Amino acid sequence: MSNMVLPPIQIVPTSAASDAPGFGAEVRGIDLRSLSEVAFASIEQAWIDHQVLLFRDQRLTDHDLIMFARRFGDLDQAPIQENGQRFVAGIPEIYVVSNVVENGVAIGSLGAGEAVWHTDMSYLEAPPKASMLHALEVPAAGGDTSFCDMYAAFDSLPETLRRRAIGLRVKHDGTYNSGGYLRQGVIPSDDPRDAPGRLHPLVCTHPESGRRMLYLGRRRMAWIGGMDVAASEALLDEIWAHATQAAFTWTHRWRVGDLVLWDNRCTMHRRDPFDAAARRIMHRTQISGSAPPAG
Ligand code: OGA
Ligand code: MN
C-alpha cells in the first residue's frame, strides 16, 4: 500500500451571474464513478451552496449515472417521453433529451427548439429535488442551457412585490413540457384554472439552506390560486420579468462528457434552440423530493 495522497477536490465558482454571487460552480479533480464518502460529502455541500454544479470530462454509462444520482437519494421515474415510451432500454429512471430520430421515432424529448424557463416536474405534489444531465453528443453550436438563481430573484424583489408574493400560491401546469409538447394523456384547456397541475407556495423556503426563493415552475398556464385570471397574468408577468433577468443567470456551453447537476428547488433552467440537422443526446436522472415545497 502506498500513501498516495489524492489531489483535493476543487470547487471553482463560475462567477457568471453578476447579481447572484456564488451561483454555479465547476467541480474539478474527481471521477464520478469512484467517489469516496468524503468526496461525495463535499460535492453535496457544494451543491447546496452553489445550486448548480458542472463536472467536466466524465464518461458515464447509464448505470454509472444512476449510481452517482442514487447517492443523493431515491430516484424518480422519468416522465413519459414524447414518443410515448415510459422508459428507455429498461431503465425507468433515465430521461433522454434528444432531437435524434431513429427509424422514424424520436429517441428522446424536447426536439431541437427552445426549451423555455422551467423547473422539472413541478406539476407533481413533491417535485424532484435535483436533476442532472450528462452530455453524450452535442451540436457544434446552440443548445446551450441557462440556469437562473431563484434565491437571488427573491432577495432582490422590490419590497412591495415581495410583500404581495409571500402567502400566494401558484399553479404549476402539467399540460405541456418545456419544449411546448403536450404531455401524454392530457387534454389541453385554455383556462389555467382547469388545467392539470399543482398549487405550490410562490415563495418557498429551502429545506436544507433555510433560504427563501421564488418558486415559479413554468410560465405557460400558470395561475395564482384564487385570483382573477387577468390579475394573475399581470402579476405573473411582473414577477417573471424580474426573476429571469440576465443578472441572475449562468449559461452553460456543453462539451461531451459534461455532467451538470442542479438543485431543482431554487433554480430554473432553459435551453437555446439548435440546428435540427445536428445531433444532441443528453441523459437525465431526477432525485426524488421528500416533501412538497413549503412556504
Ligand atoms: C431537462 C432540460 C434542457 C437541455 O433535461 O430537464 O430541461 O438543455 N433540458 O437539454
Ligand atoms: Mn428541464
Q: 47 lies in a domain?
A: yes
Q: Are strands 95-98 and 281-287 parallel, antiparallel or unpaired?
A: antiparallel
- Domain range for 279: 10-287
Contact yes or no for 283/136 (Cβ under 8 A): yes
pTM greater than the 0.85 cutoff: yes
Q: 18 lies in a domain?
A: yes
* Residue 131 belongs to domain with CATH number: 3.60.130.10
Mutate to test the pocket of ligand 1, among 132, 269, 279 (most ligand atoms within 8 A of CB): 269
**pLDDT for the residue 105:** 87
Binding site membership of 148 for ligand 1 (Cβ less than 6 Å): no
Q: 273 lies in a domain?
A: yes
Q: Indicate which residue's Cα is closest to atom 4 of ligand 1.
A: 271
Q: 271 lies in a domain?
A: yes
**pLDDT for the residue 1:** 47
Q: Which ligand 1 atom minimizes the distance to the CA of 145?
A: 8
Report the number of distinct structural domains present in the chain: 1
Q: 204 lies in a domain?
A: yes
Q: 147 lies in a domain?
A: yes
Q: 124 lies in a domain?
A: yes
Task: Convert the pLDDT of each residue in 64-118 to its tens digit.
Answer: 999 999 999 999 998 887 777 755 677 899 999 999 999 888 899 999 999 999 9
CA of 3 to the centre of ligand 2 (A): 43
Q: 294 lies in a domain?
A: no
Cα–Cα nearest to 9, from 36, 53, 33, 39: 39
Contact yes or no for 33/68 (Cβ under 8 A): yes
For residues 136 and 88, give the distance between their C-alpha atoms in angstroms, rounded to a whole number: 15
Residues 6+ apart with CB under 8 A from 284: 78, 94, 95, 96, 97, 131, 132, 133, 134
Task: Convert the pLDDT of each residue in 123-176 to its tens digit.
Answer: 999 999 999 999 999 999 999 999 999 999 999 999 999 999 999 999 999 998
Q: Which ligand 1 atom minimizes the distance to the CA of 271?
A: 8
